[in-house]
Amino acid sequence: MSHAIGIIGATGAVGREIISLLEFRNFPVKELRLFASPRSQGLSIPFLDQTLPIEPLSEKNLQGLDIAFFCAGSSISKQWIPLALQSNCFVIDSSSTFRQAPQIPLVIPEINGHMIQKTHRLIASPNCATTILLMPLFSLHRAFQAKRIVVSTYQAASGAGAHLLQELKQETKAYLENAPYTHHLPFPYAFNLYPHNSPLHPDGYVEEEQKMAHETQKILEDETIQLTATCVRVPVLRAHSLSANVEFKQPFTLDEIYQLLASVPGLALFEDRAANRFATPRDASGKNDIFCGRFRKDPTQPNTLEFWAVGDQLLKGAALNAVQIAERQVQL
């Protein structure tokens, strides 16, 4: 059975990846319709043997869709998803709008795909940094029960969308050519980094850091897990990296860690200890798997593991996860 698909935010970085994935993974598409902001009107995007125009978003245009991917940000999701649901469309939302709503499943298919039911009309896809953390962590949590997590992220420009990708490219070129450049951030981005600039809350944590804590508890179905994060934007085009320090309730050996992670779908061990070689963003860019390695015991704290993980923010961190949710749902 094929489906009428809509992509809201089709001209953005995540939207374009969803289009490519639907084609590459042979998703059963009867009709594909692409929606974006007024400034994208007149553009078209190739799909299979067609060239599809960008349509304006309207209540009428949402009619007749079986599945809608929303990847245009929270404000668009808040306004338009209720209208899409009224037309009996199955919605996958990549924004943060519904992630903490108790009745809305927050899904990484390899971890909690069982949450997807045929009766669900809306599924939320998690924050990209949360996904990269949990892909190596979830099976370890099931075995040893995570108690406390301290995580630092090194997030690529792709996490802020296509505009920051262009900003990094243009500013880097200007820097190397010693040419004048007007920064769109309050500071230079090329050959620089900065603490994540999502909204800062009174407790001193930014929204991105709070998302990781709340989403981890929800996806792992354990509200007792404590997580503190420091999120940093680095001058990398795509693929986020993170380092994690995880205290477990139960003791473990490193051999057990490697055995548990050796066959996790969507996860790849990537390390060459003899060469001191571990995954980098360049290794992970364009790859579906999350790469992990550099597992070691923290000598300062009992039952505590440290590891490194890298994943393509636009793929498993966003577009691929959303498409996998749709694949699961249509198979029910």
HSE value, Cβ hemisphere, 13 Å, CA-based, for 106: 24
Place of tokens 């099976």: 139
Q: How many CB atoms are closer than 10 A to CB 246? A: 24
Measured at the CA of 87, the angle between CA 318 and CA 332, to 5 degrees, comes to 60
8-state DSSP, 315:
I
Rg of the chain (C-alpha set): 20
In the residue annotation, 128 being an active-site residue is answered as yes
Annotated catalytic residue within 71, 128, 231, 292 = 128
Is residue 332 within 8 Å of residue 118, measured between CB atoms? yes
- Rounded Cα distance, 285 and 296, in Å: 25
Q: Tell me if 65 sits within 8 A of 95, measured CB to CB.
A: no
Residue of 169, 149, 136 lying closest to 309 (CA atoms) = 136
Residue 147 has a CB neighbour count (10 Å cut-off) of: 17
Instruction: Look up residue 181 and give its DSSP letter.
Output: -
Contact partners, residue 202, CB within 8 Å, separation at least 6 = none
| Catalytic residue list | 128, 240
